[in-house]
Amino acid sequence: MVKRAVLSSLSDIDIRLLRIFLTVTECGGFAASELELNIGRSTISKHIADLETRIGLILCNRGPAGFSLTEEGEQVIAATRRLLSRIDEFQNEIDNVHATLTGTLRIGIFDQSSTNPAAKIHHAIQLFDNRAPEVDLEIVLERPSALESRIVLGSLETAIVPMYKLAPSFNYLPLYSEQMTLYCGETHPLYGSDPSTCAKSLNLGQYKYAGYGFNSPNMIAGRGLGLTRAARVKEEEALSLLIQSGRYIGYLADHVAETFLKTGKVWAISPKDTRYSTDYGAITRKQLRPDRKTEVFLKCLQEAHGTDSAKGSLLA
C-alpha cells in the first residue's frame, strides 16, 4: 500500500511525472503511451509508481483487466490538468509581458529536413531573426517519435515532423512534402532492372532490406512491399551507406538519391510501385496556445513555405 505523503512543494521532477501521468491517461494505458512518450513500458510504470509514492495515493489499476484510474486518480488527473494549464499560461504571460520578444525558442527537426529543397526552414529562421532578434534558438535533431514526446513533456515549443499518423494531442501546420523511392546499389542484383517492371514480380522479399529502426512512413512502405528489415538505422546517412554497399535495398528521399543517381551509385527499383510521398508539418501541443515567439515562428514557417491560410492553418 502506498504510504501517505504530503508534498511541501512541487519540484521539476513532480511536474514531469504529472505530465507523464496525464499522457498515460489520455492514451489509455502504459502500452498505448510508449510511442507518445518514447520510453518503454517498464520505465513508464516506474514513473507512475514514483508519482504514487510522492503524493501518497494509488492513481491507477494496471494488470490483465487493463488500465483504469482509481477514484483518487480521477481527482488527481483533474487537478493535474488545471495545474499544468496554469503553469503553461504563466510561462506564456511572462513571455508576453515583454514588448520585445525574448527568451529561448526550442525547435525540433527530423534530420532529413535540412537537405530537402522543398523545406524552407532556413528561410523561416531568417524571417524570424528579423522579427525577433533577441530570441535565442535551440534546435535539436531527433526521430519523429522523440520530437513528439518532447512536445508533450514541454521541452520543445514546436517540431517539424512527417504527418503520416496524426495524434489527437497535437495541432498540425502543413508545410511541404517529400518523395521517397526504393533504391539499390550498383553491385546489387536489381541494379539496372527495368523501371517499369511491377514490384511484385521482382519478389523483393528475398533481398536484404535496410530501414529506420523507429516507426516511420519508411517502415510502413516497406511492410507494404513484404520487406523485412535485415539492418536498422537511426539516420539517413547510415541508410545511404548500406544501400550503396550493394547488399541492401532501402528507401531514400529522392532529393538525397539524386546525386547518387547521376554518378551511377544507386538505382531506383520499380519507382511507379515503390515511390510514396509524405507531408511534413510543424506540431504544437493542442492543450496549450503557443506563446508569442512560437506564434511568430509558425507564421514565418507559413510565409517561407508559401502556404495559404486554408492549407496552412493548424489542423486539429
State the Cα–Cα distance between residues 53 and 195, nearest whole angstrom.
Answer: 61
What gap in Å lies between CA 76 and CA 141, rounded to an integer?
A: 34
Residue from 233, 277, 235, 272 nearest 255 by CA: 277
For the domain spanning 101-175+280-304, the CATH number is 3.40.190.10
Q: How far apart are CA 121 and CA 139, in angstroms?
A: 12
Q: What is the pLDDT of residue 311?
A: 43
Tell me if domain 101-175+280-304 and domain 177-277 are identical in fold: yes
Domain boundaries, the chain: 12-95, 101-175+280-304, 177-277
Q: Which residue, chain included where needed, has cell 528561410?
A: 123
241's CB contacts (< 8 A; 6+ apart) are none
* Residue whose C-alpha cell is 524571417: 127
Cβ atoms of 249 and 207 within 8 Å: the answer is yes
Q: Which three cell numbers stand for residue 17?
A: 511525472
Q: Is the pTM of this model over 0.75?
A: no
Q: What is the CATH number assigned to the segment(s) 177-277?
A: 3.40.190.10
Looking at the structure, give the CATH architecture of the domain made up of residues 12-95.
Orthogonal Bundle (1.10)
**pLDDT by 10-residue block (mean), the chain, 316 residues:** 60 91 90 86 93 92 87 93 84 70 91 83 96 94 88 91 88 95 97 95 95 82 91 90 97 93 96 94 88 94 78 49
